[in-house]
Structure 1
């Protein structure tokens, strides 16, 4: 029996000839106690489909069709699109709950996590006493696997890790014992091992809800590996159209639609140039350590020892080589990248050890000498939208490095170089005068790559370069990076928590845990025969073996 049923759902924006359909004649059903995954690329209409039952669609959206909800009291089905908004407010949270993509923005930063869960508990049980509500909130935190729930109850969102924030969001959503949980990209911002933990937690909580009639789950994601692990049925969306729907096994093993086939086969491909035996070392670190002063005091006159974020990391990166850096959040991956780039100077970080860039001691260089060397050492950041200035057009963004390192170039020469570089990354001249918000995520990342490569660097630090992108776009960006590496003999230090990306791109892998290197070696050897327990857990969580 169906719990929620979409019938001929259409969501459009604009009027007349400008009307665009974000969701187009969708028919989909979610059964009682069933786990259904809605997959597709960015802009396919997944989130709009998920928000429609709660009537949370964007301003200006026109919604038609039916969304039939099976009422708890056995009074049959009700069309959620035709009931008054006051009745929908009764259903929100109580019967249909939602876990949003980014817990940091979904949680209120001014209230403790405990207070926010109590609010949800009191909606479900308005007559509950304050002490019982606190006990219920602590119990929910315990159920969702948060360590020390009594202490975490008093924490603010910023004091929790990404995984703990997401667990707190799930605790809030489950406070009212909903019959349908809509999870919109609940694991996007999390590590591989944490992703599986969150999904296993949702499965456990679903099992526990069977005594109260069961809970259906609608999972929205573009991570196909998670769908295999979690969902019983899959629906594939493309530009608002339902391309294919069926059991997870059937859709993954025998996809019928060409789009689904392309999506299933969009795993990154390993296409690396073998390393030259006498390739020169371009970047070398010796016992590189980073520590931050502690804010706590041991006694009246004594400060606690500094908190070590990176502990004696040593490696050598050769020409045309890629070293992958993996590890969970907080393991020191990004700190390593920032230390190598010399971008920790203005923070309170204490950096020790040696960093050698193209034969120069990076730590001892004067600011002027360091700036001159920066053209050889460039970085591509995780979020292309955050790293590109919204006030500058593409010509200004890509040529910014030329203004610093080649100030004598004429305007025409500068523009010619920018156009040539954009062609290299698959963009044409028409992009020059457009702004970042006018491009898709994949195109923005290509602009960031063009900005870094226009100075002809020898070393690139890639900090999660594809984590914000869909699987098919991710594959294109990785193929571009591999092609550019072959063409210009670039050396990459690639930081990622996506092991499939690291496997496709890296000659060697460094595994970080708590700031320490726990394992370092050839990529394929390590993935097939990991020595350390921690590495085995990471690889098992990514299901690469």
Structure 2
């Protein structure tokens, strides 16, 4: 039986000739107790489709068609688009709940997790006593698998990990025992093992809801591996149009639409050139360790020992080689990257061990000497939008490094180098005067790559370079990075929790756990024959074994 049904749903912005349809005549149904996934690239209309039943569409959006909701009392359906907003508020949370993509922004930083869950509990049960609502909130935290729920009840959002915050968001959403749960990219920022845990948790909670009639779930995502693991049915959106829908097995095994086929076949391809036998070592670390002083004290006069984030990490990175670094959140991946780049020096971090860059001791270099070497060691960050200044156009962004390291270039030479580099990354001269917000995510990451390569570095640190991108764009960016590596014989240190990316890009893999290297070796050998239980679990979670 249908729980929610979209009939001829359209969402547009603007008017007349400038009217643009973000969702175009969509027909889709979610049954009682069913798990449906809505997939597609950024801008396909997924999130707008998810927000429409709760009437949370952006200001200026024009919505037409019908969204039919099956009433709880069994008296038939009601069109949510025709209801007054006061009636919609009664449905929000109580009958239709939503888990948002980024829990840190969705949770109130001024209130504890417990208080925020209690608020949701009291909406569903307004007459419940305070002690009973506390017990109910702690029980929800237990159900969602948060360790030490009684203690975490008193924690603020910033005191929880990404996975714990997402579990707290799910606890809030389920406090009202909704009949439909809409999960908008609920696992994007999580490690592979945590992603599967969250989806397995949703399955368990859905199973428990059968006593109350069964909860339907609408999952919005661009992670196709998760869809295979979780959804019973799949609907594919492209630029607001429904390309095809059907059972998960049918859509993945026999996609009928060319766009769906492109999505299904968008896994990164391994196209690595072998490392030359006598290739020089460009980056070397020996027993590199990083610790942070503790703010706690063991007594009136003695502070608690420092918290060690990285513990005696050693590796050699050769010219033309890529080393992939994997591990769960908190394993020390990003700290390793920042230590190698020398970006921990101004913090309270205690760094020990050796870092050699192009044969020079990075730690002992004077600031002037280190600045001169920065052109040889560059970084590409995870978020291409956050790492580009919104106040600078593309010309200014890419040329900024030239201004520092090659100040004697004439304006014509400077512009010529920038245009040449834009061509290298697949963009043209017309991009020079435009600003970051005028580009797609993939184009912004190409600009970030151009900014790094304009200085002709020998070493690139790539910190989650494609995690913010759609799968097809991700494949394009990785192909570009592989091509540039072959052309300029670059050395890459790539940090990622996406094991498909690591497999496609890396000659060798370093597995970090709690700051220690637990396994290190040739990528294909390690994936096929992992020795450590931790490594096996990581690969199993990513379905690579």
Same topology, TM > 0.5 = yes
CA offsets per residue over residues 314-359 of structure 1, 9 Å max, x none? 0000000000000000100000000000000110000000000000
CA offsets per residue over residues 210-266 of structure 1, 9 Å max, x none? 001000000000000000000000000000000000000000000000000000000
Aligned with 1:384: secondary structure? coil
Aligned with 1:81: secondary structure? helix
Q: Distance in 2 between matches of 1:149 and 1:473?
A: 40
CA offsets per residue over residues 437-462 of structure 1, 9 Å max, x none? 11000000000000000000000000
Q: Distance in 2 between matches of 1:349 and 1:90?
A: 50
Which residue number corresponds to residue 472 of structure 2?
A: 472
Q: Distance in 2 between matches of 1:323 and 1:26?
A: 45
Q: Distance in 2 between matches of 1:7 and 1:261?
A: 26
Q: Distance in 2 between matches of 1:328 and 1:132?
A: 36
Q: Distance in 1 between matches of 2:398 and 2:227?
A: 38
Q: Distance in 2 between matches of 1:387 and 1:524?
A: 32
Which residue number corresponds to residue 383 of structure 1?
A: 383
Q: CA deviation at 1:60?
A: 0.1
Which residue number corresponds to residue 19 of structure 1?
A: 19
Q: Distance in 2 between matches of 1:70 and 1:44?
A: 27
Q: Distance in 1 between matches of 2:541 and 2:260?
A: 24
Q: Distance in 1 between matches of 2:532 and 2:319?
A: 28
Aligned with 2:244: secondary structure? strand
Aligned with 1:386: secondary structure? coil
Q: Distance in 2 between matches of 1:431 and 1:276?
A: 37
Q: CA deviation at 1:75?
A: 1.0
Q: Distance in 1 between matches of 2:212 and 2:314?
A: 55
Q: Distance in 2 between matches of 1:412 and 1:130?
A: 71
CA offsets per residue over residues 270-298 of structure 1, 9 Å max, x none? 00001111000000000000000000001
CA offsets per residue over residues 391-418 of structure 1, 9 Å max, x none? 0000000000000000000111000000
Q: Distance in 1 between matches of 2:484 and 2:202?
A: 42
Q: CA deviation at 1:471?
A: 0.0
Q: CA deviation at 1:126?
A: 0.4
1:339-418 to structure 2, matched below 5 A, reads: 339-418=339-418
TM-score (normalised: structure 1): 1.00
Q: Is 2:65 the partner of 1:65?
A: yes
Q: Distance in 1 between matches of 2:119 and 2:72?
A: 23
Q: Distance in 2 between matches of 1:331 and 1:399?
A: 35
CA offsets per residue over residues 127-161 of structure 1, 9 Å max, x none? 00000000000000000000000000000000000
Structure 2 residue runs of 5 or longer lacking an equivalent are none
CA offsets per residue over residues 193-214 of structure 1, 9 Å max, x none? 0000000000000000000100
Aligned with 2:299: secondary structure? coil
Structure 1 residue runs of 5 or longer lacking an equivalent are none
TM-score (normalised: structure 2): 1.00
Q: Distance in 2 between matches of 1:419 and 1:166?
A: 43
Question: How many pairs align?
Answer: 545
Aligned with 1:385: secondary structure? coil
Aligned with 1:111: secondary structure? coil
